Amino acid sequence: MKAARVPKEKAEFVRKLAEKSKAKDRERLIIQKGDCVEIPIKDGFENLFSEYQIVEQKNPVFARKSNLYGVLKEKIPKEYRELIPRRYKIIGDIILIKIPKRLERFKELIGDTLLRIHTRCKAVWVDRGKEGMLRKPKVELIAGKGSETIHKESGCLFKLDISKIMYSLGNQYEKVRIVKMVSDDEVVLDMFAGIGYFSIPIARHSKAKVYAIEINPTSYHYLLENIKLNKVNNIVPILGDSMHITPEGFADRVIMGHLYCHEFLPIAIRALDGRGIIHYHESTPEAVFDRPIKRIKMAAEKEGKRIEILRFKKVKNYSPGVLHYVVDVYVY
């Protein structure tokens, strides 16, 4: 990324020249270096400024309106431009992005550009999906360094390592919604607690007692870290498989935040203190969108219980033709 380094007294003249000739790179800001000013210019216009020093900017300052496409469209061949990602996630001070296979050759450029746009961020990782029932992230570092971060959401702090732990930004509304429903005198069971996605906000914003079960030792480690970080003392963390260690007859509310947990429905029902509410999440093909309700009804019948569906709502798109649904069900 080139710039013309000119004395301050010449800066206004050169700026007007650069703009009039359309040589000025509008994606970058003019910056001062001692007694000189660096005016960003596009590649190929160096001859217009031959009487001044042309420098390669290692740490350019981008305009606030800059976006990844806007910055890269002049640096990536025309046939690849439409593949430039328009969206990515920022978790704490780490950027997570999906890059199409045809853009792999430009991944370092993409990573470096993102760090220049988002100066507070320290690293860029490519998101290559998840693997296994524990949904361990498959990621690759392409710029900067570091994988551990602290993400702030809804007044809560979540410490995690993005190379080891999945963090979904798309469920934020659902977390807030559940928090608003919980009363101070409730006992809540979070069957798949992770790092505290639901448990931490509930404990932070209510006096409810929360039992948080997590099977993954790494997630459990960060659950403990986040309990300390948020200074909450109303969470009982439990390391283990909720299929085998969940107590019976004690909870007013059960949160089933894992997308593949229908086999745990009988356990959740038995965990209720006679009656109560279950928040059941499932990844469901559109063709069988009512499958979550059918599964709940079947599990309740086998346990000798009746149900009332309080809410059945799409949370977000999960993959093509597959949606993430949540069911609020009263069991009695």
Per-residue pLDDT of 135-184, as tens digits, reads 689 999 999 999 999 999 988 999 999 999 988 887 788 888 999 999 99
Residue at 63 is within a domain: no
- Looking at the structure, tell me whether residues 114 and 240 fall in a common domain: no
pLDDT of residue 112: 95
- Looking at the structure, tell me whether residues 319 and 281 fall in a common domain: yes
Chain mean pLDDT for the chain: 92
Residue at 253 is within a domain: yes
Q: What is the mean pLDDT of residues 113-131?
A: 91
- Looking at the structure, tell me whether residues 315 and 175 fall in a common domain: yes
Sign of the dihedral through C-alpha 178, 320, 168, 262: positive
- Looking at the structure, tell me whether residues 227 and 293 fall in a common domain: yes
Residue at 32 is within a domain: yes
The boundaries of the domain holding residue 22 are 2-56
pTM, entire model: 0.77
CATH code of the domain containing 26: 3.30.70
pLDDT of residue 132: 66
Residue at 285 is within a domain: yes
For residue 11, how far is the Cα from the chain centroid? 42
pLDDT of residue 34: 85
- Looking at the structure, tell me whether residues 257 and 293 fall in a common domain: yes
Assess whether pLDDT exceeds 90 at residue 231. Answer: yes
pLDDT of residue 148: 97
Per-residue pLDDT of 279-294, as tens digits, reads 999 999 999 999 999 9
Strand bridging mode 31-33 / 2-7: unpaired
Q: Is residue 301 exposed (0-12), middle (13-18) or buried (19+ Cβ within 10 Å)?
A: exposed
Local confidence band at 134 (pLDDT 50, 70, 90 cut-offs): low
Per-residue pLDDT of 286-322, as tens digits, reads 999 999 999 999 999 999 999 999 999 998 888 899 9
Residue at 321 is within a domain: yes
CATH code of the domain containing 264: 3.40.50.150
- Looking at the structure, tell me whether residues 174 and 322 fall in a common domain: yes
CATH code of the domain containing 76: 3.30.300.110
Residue at 159 is within a domain: no
pLDDT of residue 62: 73
Q: What is the mean pLDDT of residues 16-32?
A: 87
Alpha helices in 118-249 (DSSP H): 172-181, 199-205, 217-229, 242-245
Q: Please state, in angstroms and rounded to a whole number, the distance separating the CA atoms of residues 218 and 132.
A: 15
3-state secondary structure (DSSP) of residue 294: helix
- Looking at the structure, tell me whether residues 182 and 297 fall in a common domain: yes
- Looking at the structure, tell me whether residues 182 and 96 fall in a common domain: no
The rounded percent of the chain whose pLDDT value lies above 90 is: 74
Local confidence band at 58 (pLDDT 50, 70, 90 cut-offs): confident
Strand bridging mode 136-144 / 123-131: antiparallel
Q: Please state, in angstroms and rounded to a whole number, the distance separating the CA atoms of residues 127 and 95.
A: 10
Residue at 173 is within a domain: yes
Per-residue pLDDT of 91-113, as tens digits, reads 999 999 999 999 999 999 999 99
Residue at 287 is within a domain: yes
- Looking at the structure, tell me whether residues 89 and 172 fall in a common domain: no
Local confidence band at 201 (pLDDT 50, 70, 90 cut-offs): very high
pLDDT of residue 65: 53
